[in-house]
Structure 1
Amino acid sequence: MILSGIYSLRSIRLPQRPIFPSLRNGTLVTSSTSVSVNQKKEKVIVISGPTGAGKTRLALELAKRLNGEIISADSVQVTSFIEQYCCCVFGNKMKKENWVFVLVYRGLDVGSAKPSPSDRQDARQATKDILRSGRVPIVTGGTGLYLRWYIYGKPDVPKASREVAAQVYSELANFERDGDWEAAVQLVVDAGDPKAQSLAANDWYRLKRSLEIIRSSGSPPSAFQVPYDSFRNQNDPSETSDTCDLKPSADELEQHKVKDLDYEFICFFLSSPRLDLYRLIDLRCEHMLSDGILSEARWLLETGLLPNSNSATRAIGYRQAMEYLLHCREQGGMSSTRDFYYFLSEFQKVSRNFAKRQVTWFRNEHIYHWLNASRPLDKVLNFIYNVYNDQSGTLHVPESLQMKKYMSNKREAAELKAYRAKNGHFVHREDCSDILDWIRSTQEVKS
């Protein structure tokens, strides 16, 4: 969330070279370091989970216990004054040096402030710097693809030039304006990417990116090497052994792959039972409104940005808030109570849907150990602390802290299907009166 008074989001990119390793003369070689096969690897903690699960709080408390520094793995992250926010929420013990303002892959510079050279360091370099200083890297965020790139390496796909980006925009603009998703997908399929048909409906960003890659290189995204897939292929014994009749389990394959990574990644996925998670998300959306997300959306609009035009304005909450304010401006700077509650309901719904997609994605990421976020924080912290300091090389999550990946019964599925948000603050008409007054005083379009 963008905090009041913050006017820049930083753009940090991973290095172009893949970071997956290869074996040369008995030595494990990576893009970041050369490690002897028998040498003890340095440890990196990764904490992920769906939105609203409590990743940030857990990472901050863990950083204090382990003398750690945090690397953000979110697609959009604020990099200024966040230490003031941390002190406000977690007490004055939290110091600025506990948070490293580095994105795993991509952010966006939307303000006039220019990043300093230190802000431009990539997440892998930050990891090395943290370890060199004798501290513990703690990577946290909910963007699964960025975390995969951080651990295994970024796909070597071409970046679109401004000319290509403009061409692709013009090719798809009318389809997006008219909401003709199927016709847009067919255009990309005809251009050379049959896998565009498997994209989630109305995922215009990924559809545009696919067409950009085709227009830049003449090949679809699937033609480019993906380090994660290389790990999976090179470490699958069933592909090379004639004596293996049974294919290893996904967990066994992941354990085999971990041996070939340049760090000992200790990865956790923090979540809650789905109904509890949805309630937390709904309350979080209310808190974001109380904390000023509409003011931040107003600032984004005043910089000249439009909803869904870049990574910052695609972020859940900001896109909906910007669209709501634009609607208010169309109504002469006014909003009805009904319009406000419709906006809040949509904000909550897309947040819950995003959390569901995150859970689905991470079910297939077998390097992660699932932890129940509804358990006492101290117990979760103590467990991770002990795992980090354990030298046995084994990791077993006690049953009391385990989080199941799948729903356990039909009753839970039925309850989820019937779920409806129950607000804690915005319940009655008068509860949103302050926000409606703010809209009347700030959103009238001056001629």
Structure 2
Amino acid sequence: MMGDKPRILIIVGPTAVGKTALSLACAKALNGEILSADSMQIYKGMDIGTAKIRPEEMEGVPHFGLDLVYPDQPYTVVEFKAYADRMIRETQARGKLPIIVGGTMLYVKALIDPMDFTEAKEDPEFRQQLWQQAEEQGGDPLHKRLQEVDPITAERLHPNDVKRVIRALEVHHATGVPLSQSFTNQATEGPYDPVLVGLNLADRQELYQRINRRVDIMIEQGLVEEVKALLAAGYHRDLQSMQAIGYKEIVDFLDGRATFEEAVESVKQGSRRYAKRQLSWWRREERIHWFDGGHLNEDGAHLNESECLRKISNMLEGIS
């Protein structure tokens, strides 16, 4: 523990690399409880497409951060931070090690680094102007505008991610401060003493094969039926939750905008691209200790588990 800061274990990495299996092994070996830092697993009824762990797979390990809100309810990183801080305190009060598994890069970043959560005052008129420009000219002009005032945020947002580009422009418009300056790079100023473990695969094609296989399994488990149930419950395609990879593509299929084969391939392609973005983000984080996820077999079982756990335990104890 660094000073009075609680020590926490954070496991990050791209989708389908084996984070769930490693987190379970760590929880059982290190007396831990698991907190999901995934912005899609917070939604009730969205289980298959988010690869949410099932109760029978938890092996008796308490899990938090799942099923927090309904798909039509807004949920911000501010709310996640408050929730996660409370869960971490309660986990430590029980004498357990908090293990955070992500997931969503912004959620993890909010835990390990200071973040200014002062919410910019919304300006509906300014926002409407931006949306009108997007409708008339597409997302590129807005993205170029963001590059001028906040190049760091612009780098991590795709021009087609119009909603987040507009929000970043709103923050700068209201505060005069770039959204990216909400974070600092000084980990020692954060509230916790984190040990960051990253999982990756040396063979990128193996990762992509795992992603493709995971999507096939989701289809077999009933992803189409899950999306049908969400639509029947009144959760329409324009909701932020329904824009998630795996859901928007199936909605397109159900609406007749794509064939089944096209939808499945789009889910695979979107998931691969997301994994690439996740890796690009995490590679900038120098505090991460990387492990080769190739030591995990296709079912997620760790083939060199004892050595991996020994190294993680040493890091938690401050032993290099």
TM-score category, normalised to shorter length: 0.7 to 0.9
Percent identity over paired residues: 25
Cα gap change, 1:300 to 1:177, in 2 (>3 Å): farther
Cα gap change, 1:139 to 1:354, in 2 (>3 Å): same
Residue 228 of structure 1: aligned partner: 184
Question: What residue identity is the alignment partner of 1:219?
Answer: G
Alpha-carbon contact 2:253-2:263 (below 8 Å) kept = yes
Structure 2 counterpart SS, 1:371: strand
Deviation at 1:298, TM superposition (A): 2.3
Cα gap change, 1:36 to 1:120, in 2 (>3 Å): closer
Deviation at 1:269, TM superposition (A): 0.8
Deviation at 1:76, TM superposition (A): 1.6
1:70 to 16, 34, 47: 34
Cα gap change, 1:36 to 1:300, in 2 (>3 Å): closer
Within 5 Å, which residues of 2 pair with 1:295-444? 295-307=225-237, 309-310=239-240, 312-327=241-256, 339-376=259-296, 377-380=302-305, 382-388=307-313, 393-395=318-320
Structure 2 counterpart SS, 1:201: coil
2: CA distance between counterparts of 1:181 and 1:110? 26
Residue 76 of structure 2: aligned partner: none
Q: Does residue 1:193 correspond to 2:149, yes or no?
A: yes
Q: In angstroms, what is the RMSD of aligned CA positions? A: 3.4
Show structure 1 runs of 4+ deviating over 6 A: 79-82
Q: Does residue 1:155 correspond to 2:116, yes or no?
A: yes
Residue 51 of structure 1: aligned partner: 15
1: CA distance between counterparts of 2:160 and 2:200? 27
1: CA distance between counterparts of 2:100 and 2:118? 24
Q: Does residue 1:129 correspond to 2:93, yes or no?
A: no
Cα gap change, 1:136 to 1:79, in 2 (>3 Å): farther
1: CA distance between counterparts of 2:315 and 2:169? 47
Alpha-carbon contact 1:79-1:101 (below 8 Å) kept = no
Task: Report which structure shows greater RCO (CA 8 Å, sep ≥6).
Answer: 2
1: CA distance between counterparts of 2:232 and 2:126? 26
- The Cα offsets for residues 13-47 of structure 1, whole Å up to 9 and x where unpaired, read as xxxxxxxxxxxxxxxxxxxxxx984x6x5421100
Q: 5+ residue gaps in structure 2?
A: 74-79, 297-301
Deviation at 1:219, TM superposition (A): 1.9
- The Cα offsets for residues 123-157 of structure 1, whole Å up to 9 and x where unpaired, read as 11211111111011000012222211111122334
Cα gap change, 1:130 to 1:392, in 2 (>3 Å): closer
Deviation at 1:300, TM superposition (A): 3.2
Question: What residue identity is the alignment partner of 1:64?
Answer: K
2:160 to 202, 207, 210: 202
Alpha-carbon contact 2:245-2:271 (below 8 Å) kept = yes
Alignment TM-score, normalising by the size of structure 2: 0.79
Question: What residue identity is the alignment partner of 2:115?
Answer: K
1: CA distance between counterparts of 2:135 and 2:231? 19
Cα gap change, 1:171 to 1:301, in 2 (>3 Å): farther
1: CA distance between counterparts of 2:34 and 2:64? 5
Within 5 Å, which residues of 2 pair with 1:231-250? 231=186
Residue 141 of structure 2: aligned partner: 183
Residue 294 of structure 1: aligned partner: 224
Residue 279 of structure 1: aligned partner: 209
Alpha-carbon contact 2:27-2:34 (below 8 Å) kept = yes
Q: 5+ residue gaps in structure 1?
A: 1-34, 113-118, 232-256, 329-334, 396-447
2: CA distance between counterparts of 1:294 and 1:179? 34
Cα gap change, 1:143 to 1:194, in 2 (>3 Å): closer
Question: What residue identity is the alignment partner of 1:356?
Answer: K
Within 5 Å, which residues of 2 pair with 1:91-106? 94-95=59-60, 98-101=62-65
1: CA distance between counterparts of 2:291 and 2:275? 16
2: CA distance between counterparts of 1:193 and 1:111? 32
Question: What residue identity is the alignment partner of 2:54?
Answer: C
Count of matched residue positions in the alignment of Structure 1 and Structure 2: 301
Deviation at 1:159, TM superposition (A): 4.4
Deviation at 1:297, TM superposition (A): 2.0
Residue 56 of structure 2: aligned partner: 88
